Amino acid sequence: MRFEGMEVGFDIPALPGMDAADVVTPCLIVDLDALERNIRKLGDYVRENGMRLRVHGKMHKSVDVAKLQIEIGGARGVCCQKVSEAEAFARGGIPDILVSNEVRNPVMIDRLAALPKLGPSVSVCVDELANVVELSAAAERHGTELGVLVEVDCGGGRCGVETPGAAVEIARAVVDAGGLRFEGVQAYQGAMQHLETWEARREKLEAAIAITRGVVDALTAAGLPPDVVTGGGTGSYPFETQSGLYTELQCGSYAFMDADYGRIRGANGERIDAGEWENALFVLSAVMSHVKPHQAVVDAGLKVMTFESGLPLVFGRDDVSYRGASDEHGVVDDPGGVLKVGDRLRLVPGHCDPTCNLHDWYVGLRGGKVECVWPVSARGKAW
Amino acid sequence: MRFEGMEVGFDIPALPGMDAADVVTPCLIVDLDALERNIRKLGDYVRENGMRLRVHGKMHKSVDVAKLQIEIGGARGVCCQKVSEAEAFARGGIPDILVSNEVRNPVMIDRLAALPKLGPSVSVCVDELANVVELSAAAERHGTELGVLVEVDCGGGRCGVETPGAAVEIARAVVDAGGLRFEGVQAYQGAMQHLETWEARREKLEAAIAITRGVVDALTAAGLPPDVVTGGGTGSYPFETQSGLYTELQCGSYAFMDADYGRIRGANGERIDAGEWENALFVLSAVMSHVKPHQAVVDAGLKVMTFESGLPLVFGRDDVSYRGASDEHGVVDDPGGVLKVGDRLRLVPGHCDPTCNLHDWYVGLRGGKVECVWPVSARGKAW
């Protein structure tokens, strides 16, 4: 255990070169080998299937992970959900950024329109006609160009136009507006990604594809054929790929995985964390109290993981299990009394995206050593 | 809506002096009048009842709120749950800090022992004998003194000694160890704070007080009478106060309130957010899409609130309600179709502590203007 460099106020849980055993807990750790295998695997898939890949940066919120996905994983750029996230990626040098969401706050529309001046190609989604006027005025004010995709509600029940006619009306307004470039259609069905069985997901995706096809056909008939039809997540990307309709995938969670995604099943009934994707992200936690013989208390609770998608799994162990959380504590069942104070557990968080949003740093491990410490570049960037 | 000062990369949602209507959403806002009334009210209570107040800083994680609680609210200092939180409060000038939790990581024990050199009185909890040796060695290494409280499990089922004998053994070791000062007993029953009825909470607290009394009696009989018996939260403080046993309260949520605490009932059956404490903390959110006639989508989801204690309430309105969240969106039922894009809602988060931990800034409002922007000083400080 080294103390030098880790004095009062050093708010980073590790230093490069440190033994993995000396990393301060709790913190987020990344198994770099597993991460790279996941990233290369999806890169191979999109190449073999002639798709484009725009990874979802809102999952990891990290410029460093996004760069790895571009360099070794076939990604053309990122999507994200907020202008402030897009700013973090733009400042980090990511060349192609889609805000896969509507932007309606005037300050943030202005900042979105300014962003191409930093270098990247920038696009955004629209689901109401009035937004076209707002975006066009801002882009013209800054002398920039924004790509625009019409968002279609293909079953998620959240944002997005509900009719092909509304999509055509918006696309035509975009084509006629200054400072905007009509790119195509955003159709992401988020609500089905975590349905457990392959068949249940396939059914939802077929409905989504049918809705999206109706919009694409209407746009084409109106002389506005979309260059881009984008969507698809870790729970659905084979369906979008096979559709013959989508041109681009937006997978995010495949790179890190989490406990909730791990539970879903592939085409042959196998868990997707049992072969398709590896767990590369963990909350590293340590036992901090073990007064009761069959219960350990660990240092990882609500402050370092979110629980809206369920409890974390204890990676690689079936002798202990995480039973419940309070803000700074986790209660771990230890029926055999095998744990002792200081013992470390790798927890697979229930839901990776909001868990990453709690942390400032990823500690990258390889071969028992800390290889890198990456900032969570877009953490907390909510507007 | 002002743009100047709010350009690309300005990652603060407001500027002092700005109209409240121009604050960028989503963000945390604080009603400063309500906050000050809550703080003064508990200050009056502890003074009238001869108790000491050590506010729980882990709730707000803010040096500025802690200072207000000391200046106008009768607090002697703060407690918090992590050494890195204690560092943030020490560096902010808070004079008296208790880490109301066990510290077992060697690096963080070292940093805890170094902290008195920054000025404050620093104390910590212990529930296993081996920890006394670790703390003593670190304090002697730094030439400092740490206060020590024996933590008692008084019903929470988490950390803490389970027998009076174990408490006496630890207290005696503390008295005999260099660099440590025996202060007393930590007995906080967290598991009961949110039970809805006064009677249910009273029953749990009576059991907690009986356990704690057994420990205090054993320490006194062993010639180690505790100066401090500390505990009590927003859901229980009248019981600890009336016990004649506790000397100090550790309330936190009273200052801000939240939806989950708001649901609990006082002695006369009234909700505690209906008179006892005011809602002072809100997630300010705006409508970002309203394609469907009876559903609005707002810009506040899992990235700005946590949901393990339930959904947020829409403050001051009964015509719309928050139905569900995804990472960056909230779906709001709008049966009358009264909302339009850009409309703002004040959301009372389900659970204030982990919600504050998602944000970097509190925007303090008074009289329709931004009066201050405070950092969430100890946000993310998890070790």
Distances (CA, A) of A129 to A102, A158, A183, B377: 12, 17, 16, 41
Taking only Cα atoms into account, the Rg of chain A, rounded to an integer number of angstroms, comes to: 22
Query: Span A259-270, mean pLDDT?
Result: 93
Q: How much of chain A exceeds pLDDT 70, in percent?
A: 99
CB contacts under 8 A, B 223-262 vs A, are: none
In chain B, the percentage of residues whose pLDDT exceeds 70 is: 99
Partner-chain residue, chosen from B58, B159, B381, that has the shortest CB–CB distance to A289: B159
Average pLDDT in the A136-155 region? 98
- List A residues 21-40 in contact with B (Cβ-Cβ < 8 A): 22, 24-27
Contacts of B130 in chain A (CB under 8 A): 341
Query: Out of A101, A158, A288, whose CB is closest to B331?
Result: A158
The answer to whether the CB atoms of B162 and A291 lie below 8 A apart is: yes
CB of B4 less than 8 A from some CB of A: no
- Give A283-294 pLDDT, tens digit per residue: 999 999 999 999
Q: How far, rounded to the nearest angstrom, does the alpha carbon of residue B121 sit from its chain's CA centroid?
A: 20
Q: Is B367 exposed, middle or buried (0-12, 13-18, 19+ CB in 10 A)?
A: exposed
pLDDT at A347 over 90: yes
pLDDT of B7 > 90? The answer is no
How far apart, in whole angstroms, are the C-alpha atoms of residue B319 and residue B338? 8
pLDDT tens per residue, range B326-345: 999 999 999 999 999 999 99
Q: How far is B114 from chain A (nearest CA, A)?
A: 7
- The answer to whether residue A291 neighbours chain B at the CB level (below 8 Å) is yes
pLDDT band (50, 70, 90) for residue A2: low
Pairing of strands B330-333, B344-348: unpaired
CB distance B382–A26 less than 8 Å? yes
Q: How far is the C-alpha of B254 from the C-alpha of B261, rounded, in Å?
A: 9
**Given this model, what pLDDT does residue B8 score?**
85
Q: Which residues fall within 8 angstroms of residue A175, CB to CB, at 6 or more apart?
A: A182, A224
pLDDT score for A314: 98
Query: Across the interface, do A308 and B303 touch by the CB < 8 Å criterion?
Result: no
Distance between CA B375 and CA B65 in Å, rounded? 10
ipTM: 0.96
Q: Is the pLDDT of residue B2 over 80?
A: no
Instruction: Find, in chain B, the residue whose alpha carbon is nearest to that of A125.
Output: B289
Q: Given A104, A327, A357, which is nearest B288 (Cβ)?
A: A104
Query: Touching check for B129 and chain A: CB below 8 Å?
Result: no
In B, residues 93-112, which contact A (CB 8 Å cutoff)?
Answer: 101-108, 110-111
What mean pLDDT do residues B65-84 have?
A: 98
**Contact across the interface for B7 and A354, Cβ inside 8 Å:** no
**Residue A254: per-residue pLDDT:** 97
Three-state helix/strand/coil letters over B159-193: CCECCHHHHHHHHHHHHHCCCEEEEEEECCCCCCC
The pair phi, psi for residue A109, each rounded to 5°, is: -60, -45
Which of the residues A287, A288, A353 would you substitute to probe the B interface, choosing the one with the greatest number of B C-beta atoms within 10 Å? A288
CB A39 within 8 A of CB A66: no
pLDDT for A8 equals: 85
pLDDT band at B9 (very low <50, low <70, confident <90, very high): confident
Over 70: is that where the pLDDT of A252 sits? yes
**Residue B380 to residue A357, Cβ atoms within 8 A:** no
Q: Which amino acid is at B327?
A: D
- Write out the two tokens for A314: 């204890």
CB contact under 8 A, A359 and B380: yes
Are B359 and A381 a contacting pair at CB < 8 A?
Answer: no
Three-state DSSP class for residue B256 = coil
Cα–Cα distance between A289 and A331 in angstroms, integer? 10
The pLDDT of residue A152 is 98
Q: Which two tokens stand for residue A228?
A: 């881009």
Please state, in angstroms and rounded to a whole number, the distance separating the CA atoms of residues B231 and B246: 7
Nearest to A107 among B6, B104, B162 (CB): B6
Residues of chain B contacting A190 with CB distance shorter than 8 Å:
326
Binary contact (B87, A162; C-beta < 8 A): no
Residues of chain B positioned with their CB less than 8 A from the CB of A351: 302
> CA-to-CA distance for B311 and B326, rounded, in angstroms?
12
Put simply, the answer to whether B383 touches A162 (Cβ < 8 Å) is no
Q: What is the mean pLDDT of residues B143-169?
A: 97
Average pLDDT over residues A97-104: 98
- pTM score: 0.97
- What's the start-to-end Cα distance of chain B, in Å? 40
Q: How far is A48 from chain B (nearest CA, A)?
A: 31
Nearest CB among B1, B58, B115 relative to A107 is that of B1
Whole-number CA gyration radius for chain B: 22
Chain B residues touching A382 at Cβ < 8 A = 26-27, 299-300, 303-304, 328, 358-359
**pLDDT tens column, B226-267:** 999 999 999 999 999 999 999 999 999 999 999 999 999 999
What pLDDT, on a 0 to 100 scale, did the predictor assign at position B1?
Answer: 59
pLDDT at B5: 81
From B48's Cα to the closest Cα of chain A, the distance in A is 31
Say how far apart CA B269 and CA B200 lie, in whole Å.
12
pLDDT in tens, B31-61: 999 999 999 999 999 999 999 999 999 999 9
Count CA within 13 A, CB hemisphere, residue A70: 18
**E-only strand ranges, chain A:** 27-31, 52-56, 75-80, 96-99, 121-126, 146-151, 180-186, 228-231, 248-249, 281-289, 295-298, 313-314, 321-325, 330-333, 344-348, 361-366, 369-375
* Distance between CA atoms of residues B346 and B330, nearest Å: 13
Burial A45-58 (b: 16+ CB within 10 A, else e): bbeeeebebbbbbb
pLDDT value at B367 more than 70: yes
Strand A27-31 versus strand B96-99 pairing type: unpaired
Structure tokens at B246: 């506790």
* pLDDT at position A1 over 70: no
- pLDDT tops 80 at residue A3: no
Q: Which residue of B has its CA nearest to A359?
A: B380
pLDDT at A7 over 90: no
Q: Cα angle vertex A330, ends A328, A334, to 5°? A: 155
| pLDDT over 80 at B3, yes or no | no
Q: Which two tokens stand for residue A1?
A: 């255990």
* CB distance B12 to A116 below 8 Å: no
With cut-offs at 50, 70 and 90, classify the pLDDT of residue B290.
very high
pLDDT for B157: 93
Residues A363-379 have pLDDT tens digits of 999 999 999 999 999 99
Buried b (16+ CB within 10 A) or exposed e, A190-199: bebbbbeebe
The predicted-structure confidence for A164-220, as pLDDT tens digits, reads as follows 999 999 999 999 999 999 999 999 998 888 999 999 999 999 999 999 999 999 999
Question: Which residues in chain B touch residue A8, judged by CB atoms under 8 angstroms apart?
Answer: 87, 111, 114-115, 118
β partners of residue A298: A287, A330
Query: What residues of chain B lie within 8 A of the CB of A287, using their CB?
Result: 104
Q: Do A383 and B291 make contact, defined as CB atoms within 8 angstroms?
A: no
CA distance A254 to A203: 21
Indicate the pLDDT class of residue B4, thresholds 50, 70 and 90. Answer: confident
- DSSP 8-state assignment for residue B301: S
Q: Would you call A309 helix, strand, or coil by DSSP?
A: coil
